[in-house]
Structure 1
Amino acid sequence: MQLFKFFEIALVVLTLGSGLVLLFDRLYWRKRRLARAGLLDDGSEPVLVDWSRSFFPVLAVVLVVRSFVAEPYRIPSSSMMPNLLIGDFILVNKFSYGLRLPISNAKIIPTWEPERGDVVVFKPPHDPDQNWIKRIIGLPGDRVGFRGNTLYLNGEPVTYQLKGNYIGQGPGADMTGKSLLVENLPGREHTVLEDLRFVHPFGQGDWVVPEGQYFVMGDNRDHSEDSRFWTQTSFLPDELLRGKAFIIWLNCQDWFCKGSFDASRIGTRIQ
């Protein structure tokens, strides 16, 4: 997702640059042009001012919408299967957890707090130049445990219902045969994938979530690099949250939809 970081910086720079050009033109340059018109100058706008006048409104609207309303992302991995597939294009609500400045991600206006079960986009603490997506499992003060193939919350095991074997398609075909389960997470039921015949030798333990931080996991439990495996810290600080994923608006195998296209994914709400 490095492309998004580059786009974000370029969008801010171009918006500020074109806005400054228009400001200086209004305060200084236009007066000089009008004063010189009819002498050695025909009074026409320089190309830079003309371009800024054309592009600034568009850039400003895109910046405001992308920074404070909704932002698109593409799912590049299988860590959130079966709920999010490789190639899903999603929208992320940018004001769910507070209005934040572009680039710095600093919160300027608080809104709502994350809830258990929310699917969130964030910057991982060990690689803040990336954008990842996982599900919030533990809230501040929770005791989270993962032993065997069972998730524990505050000392109580989370219950599961087996729905059968998963059948994957396209890039997710290698997940075929995994167990499809309904995980009864308090407040938010959702499906997960697990290999019930295999217990991962790592990612086992118990954690107490600190204040202002969260414990996150992928729905594809055997194929997710999440809080269970982070070595520097097992927790996601609130200031690294980007927003709440809420809908799938497209599914393509690449940015230009040259590969397979799944119209059935369009409009799917992210639970």
Structure 2
Amino acid sequence: MSLQAILGNFALILFILTVGTGIIWFLDVFHLARQRRVRADAALAEFDARRARLQAEGLKVEEGDRSKLEADILRQPTWIEYSGSFFPVIALVFFLRSFLYEPFKIPSSSMVPTLVIGDLILVNKFTYGVRLPIINKKVIDINDPQRGDVMVFKYPKDPSLDYIKRVVGVPGDKIVYKNKRLTVNGKEISYEPLPDYLDEEHLSYSKQYMEGLSATPHRILNDDRAPAYVQNPDPFPKRELCSYNLEGFTCTVPSGHYFMMGDNRDNSLDSRYWGFVPDENIVGKAFFVWMNLGNLKRIGSFQ
């Protein structure tokens, strides 16, 4: 693994810090602290013997000198003190991010209007099963991704990158996207027109619809200026399960894989272009915007 990949993998950095500070903490508790105690006892015994001699000679010895001597010897070195302080904090953060909830920041407009640039979101790491950190191997099955879920996953072409899209197809589904409308397993998905969506950054409008992909409908955008066909899809794995034409495409989702699309349909590089997402790439289910510094009204759950 390259240095750049390591620096880009925060979970790996946390793991290394947790292990490193943990080793130092355990070493200190079960070995170094005992050594300091032995040295302190020896020094105090020598101090007491010297004080007894001085007292026998009629000289006065300050009691505070004994306490200071003991404290100085038992004091942890700075590097051990800091490691011991940071270890429980780093370990807790590592556990929370690895098995419960992980924060992400939305970097692009591919999920507008559901999620916008600058949204800080929380991802549930255990909804789809418990996975070992770093290697992302599932060890406990809980739930499978469902159509309509907003999911974070490792980008199949570069697993060091995290992507977020909506689950459109689950294993075995036949997905037809024709003239910017979805059909799943022969069932046409409903589209309810909504007022046009204003992109305040580019000062342009897009067609907005309420898409009934799941029991909980969600909003999607279409750009009338963009063509219906997929331009230059990659030769991704299992590409033979997809066919493309001027009106869109048809794909059958293979076992253990998912078909992902952004809600900003004409401004999203997704499974239409780079293919299916394997189960081992799943990170978790996005469910909550916990902060957006530019718009505090964005805080809350989303579909």
TM-score (norm 2): 0.79
CA contact (8 A) 2:6 2:12 kept: no
* 2:279 paired with 1:238: yes
CA distance in 2 between counterparts of 1:25 and 1:151 reads 61
Residue 56 of structure 1 aligns with an amino acid whose one-letter code is F
CA contact (8 A) 1:134 1:218 kept: yes
* 2:166 paired with 1:135: yes
- When residues 27 and 199 of structure 1 are mapped into structure 2, their CA distance, relative to the original with a 3 A threshold, is same
Q: In structure 2, what is the equivalent of residue 16 of structure 1?
A: 19
CA distance in 2 between counterparts of 1:83 and 1:64 reads 29
Q: Could you list the runs of 5+ residues in structure 1 that have no partner in the other structure?
A: 253-260
CA contact (8 A) 1:116 1:188 kept: no
Q: Report which stretch shifted further, 73-82 or 22-31.
A: 22-31
Q: In structure 1, what is the equivalent of residue 291 of structure 2?
A: 250
CA distance in 1 between counterparts of 2:142 and 2:264 reads 30
CA contact (8 A) 1:25 1:49 kept: yes
Q: In structure 1, what is the equivalent of residue 256 of structure 2?
A: 212
Q: In structure 2, what is the equivalent of residue 109 of structure 1?
A: 140
Q: Report which stretch shifted further, 159-168 or 126-135.
A: 159-168
* 2:298 paired with 1:265: yes
CA distance in 2 between counterparts of 1:49 and 1:14 reads 14
Q: In structure 2, what is the equivalent of residue 190 of structure 1?
A: 218
Give the Å deviation of 1:188: 3.2
CA contact (8 A) 2:113 2:221 kept: yes
Give the Å deviation of 1:123: 0.4
Give the Å deviation of 1:4: 8.6
* 2:227 paired with 1:199: yes
Alignment of 1:91-106 (within 5 A): 91-106=122-137
Number of equivalent positions: 255
CA contact (8 A) 2:9 2:160 kept: no
CA root-mean-square deviation: 2.0
CA distance in 2 between counterparts of 1:48 and 1:57 reads 15
Give the Å deviation of 1:197: 5.1
Q: In structure 2, what is the equivalent of residue 224 of structure 1?
A: 268
Q: In structure 1, what is the equivalent of residue 36 of structure 2?
A: 33
CA distance in 1 between counterparts of 2:6 and 2:210 reads 34
CA distance in 1 between counterparts of 2:82 and 2:225 reads 62
Give the Å deviation of 1:44: 2.2
Q: Could you list the runs of 5+ residues in structure 2 that have no partner in the other structure?
A: 44-68, 232-247
Give the Å deviation of 1:10: 1.7
- When residues 131 and 27 of structure 1 are mapped into structure 2, their CA distance, relative to the original with a 3 A threshold, is same
Identity of aligned residues (%): 44
CA contact (8 A) 1:180 1:193 kept: yes
Larger Rg: 2
Give the Å deviation of 1:103: 1.6
Give the Å deviation of 1:162: 1.1
Q: Which runs of 4+ in 1 moved over 6 A?
A: none
Give the Å deviation of 1:104: 1.3
Alignment of 1:121-200 (within 5 A): 121-169=152-200, 171=201, 173-174=202-203, 176-196=204-224, 198-200=226-228
Task: Please give the secondary structure, in 1, of the residue aligned with 2:73.
Answer: coil
Higher helix share: 2
CA distance in 1 between counterparts of 2:216 and 2:173 reads 16
Give the Å deviation of 1:159: 2.1
CA distance in 1 between counterparts of 2:216 and 2:170 reads 13
CA distance in 1 between counterparts of 2:80 and 2:140 reads 34
Give the Å deviation of 1:55: 0.8
CA distance in 2 between counterparts of 1:19 and 1:3 reads 20
CA distance in 2 between counterparts of 1:30 and 1:186 reads 59
